[in-house]
């Protein structure tokens, strides 16, 4: 089932479909923000990734054609600010998906990412009929942990050596929402101050686990700032 990628708006924030002609502007942002993005970027366990923005856009759009994802550009007042990808869309008895995101450093702290996650999740629940949305974050990524805490994504647990990021397998905290727990929608619940306190916060046991070295072979030896 080919997916139509919608354009979603709230105030100065626009979430719109990625296009082949975004390649040049996107490449510029990715190059200008190398040190900002690198610690959190997915890498290839088999070797260096080829940095080919055009190919990556093609692959995202093909995935959308196959019904597997929704690739968005995040815009602030019409300017390209970052990306949000809904990926791993499954239907049927799972009806689930994951979200990943980034914004350029100069757009950080304006609430663009929580707004984008809320818009995309509400779209997936309401228009695609998905049931569950998941976001996984390295324990070290305090800024990203604030995004799920603001929106009240429920903390589910620690996944050891879950995603290959910045050159190694990294532990991740997993957060999720299911559609039934917020009939009013993610954006509405957040904007109306109705997110239950503490819902998106990992518990003390999870932090303690994240601070201890993980499975054997984990060379990262996480420390939590
Ligand atoms: C994580 C990230 C997407 C958050 O996006 P955002 O649009 O800035 O989100 P918010 O505006 O809600 O800010 C979230 C937190 O970032 C931190 N922050 C704010 N301004 C910041 C700045 N200029 N520089 C660094 N961090 C900042 C604050 O802790 C903020 O939480 P607060 O609002 O409670 O103070 C963004 O920091 C980013 O792109 N980082 C690099 C890539 C990345 O980490 N991707 C996510 C991988 S899971």
**Is the beta carbon of 144 within 6 A of some atom in ligand 1?**
yes
pLDDT at 221: 45
pTM: 0.95
Average pLDDT over residues 66-76: 97
Residues constituting the chain? 225
**Encoding tokens for residue 2?**
């080919």
Question: Which residue owns the Cα nearest ligand 1 atom 26?
Answer: 143
Binned at pLDDT 50, 70 and 90, residue 49 comes out as low
Contact 113, 48 (CB under 8 A): no
Note the pLDDT of residue 219.
45
CB of 173 within 6 A of ligand 1: the answer is: no
Pick from 105, 143, 159, 187 the residue to mutate for probing ligand 1's pocket: most ligand atoms within 8 Å of its CB.
Answer: 143
The residue whose CA is least distant from atom 5 of ligand 1 is 113
pLDDT tens-digit series, residues 7-34: 999 999 999 999 999 999 999 999 999 9
Site to probe by mutation for ligand 1, drawn from 109, 141, 190 as the one with most ligand atoms within 8 Å of Cβ, is 109
Instruction: Tell me which residue has its CA closest to atom 23 in ligand 1.
Output: 108
Atom of ligand 1 nearest to the CA of 147: 12
CA distance 195 to 190: 6
- Tokens found for residue 93: 């008895």
In this predicted structure, the answer to whether residue 220 has a pLDDT above a threshold of 70 is no
* Residue 31: both structure tokens together: 């190059």
CATH T-level topology, domain 8-210: Aminopeptidase (3.40.630)
pLDDT at residue 47 in the model: 79
Name which of 39-43, 47-51, 68-72, 159-163 the model is least confident about: 47-51
Pair of tokens at residue 10: 């709230």
pLDDT of residue 216: 55
The rounded percent of the chain whose pLDDT value lies above 70 is: 94
Residue extents of the structural domains in the chain: 8-210
- pLDDT computed for residue 225 by the predictor: 38
Is the distance from the beta carbon of residue 139 to the nearest atom of ligand 1 less than 6 Å?
A: no
Please give the pLDDT value at position 50.
Answer: 72
**Segment 147-190, tens digit of pLDDT:** 999 999 999 999 999 999 999 999 999 999 999 999 999 999 99
> Is the pLDDT at 75 greater than 90, yes or no?
yes
**pLDDT digit string (tens) for 190-216?**
999 999 999 999 999 999 999 987 665
Tally the C-alpha atoms within 13 A of residue 82's C-alpha that lie toward its C-beta.
25
pLDDT tens for 80-101 read 999 999 999 999 999 999 999 9
Residue 109 CA to ligand 1 centre (angstroms) = 5
């Amino acid at each position: 089932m080919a997916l139509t990628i919608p354009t979603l708006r709230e105030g100065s924030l626009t979430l719109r479909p990625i296009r082949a002609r975004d390649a040049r502007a996107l490449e510029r942002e990715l190059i200008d923000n190398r040190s900002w993005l690198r610690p959190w970027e997915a890498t290839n366990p088999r070797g260096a990734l080829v940095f080919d923005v055009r190919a990556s856009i093609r692959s995202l759009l093909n995935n959308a054609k196959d019904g597997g994802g929704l690739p968005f550009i995040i815009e602030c007042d019409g300017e390209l600010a970052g990306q949000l990808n809904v990926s791993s869309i499954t239907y049927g008895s799972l009806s689930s998906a994951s979200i990943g995101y980034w914004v350029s450093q100069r757009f950080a702290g304006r609430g663009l990412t929580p707004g984008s996650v809320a818009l995309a999740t509400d779209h997936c629940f309401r228009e695609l009929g998905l049931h569950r949305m998941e976001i996984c974050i390295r324990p070290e990524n305090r800024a990203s942990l604030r995004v799920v805490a603001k929106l009240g994504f429920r903390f589910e647990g620690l996944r050891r050596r879950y995603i290959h990021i910045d050159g190694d397998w990294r532990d991740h905290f997993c957060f999720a929402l299911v559609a039934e727990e917020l009939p009013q929608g993610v954006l509405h619940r957040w904007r109306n101050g109705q997110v239950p306190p503490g819902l998106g916060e990992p518990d003390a046991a999870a932090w303690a686990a994240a601070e201890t070295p993980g499975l054997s072979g984990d060379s990262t030896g996480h420390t939590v700032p």
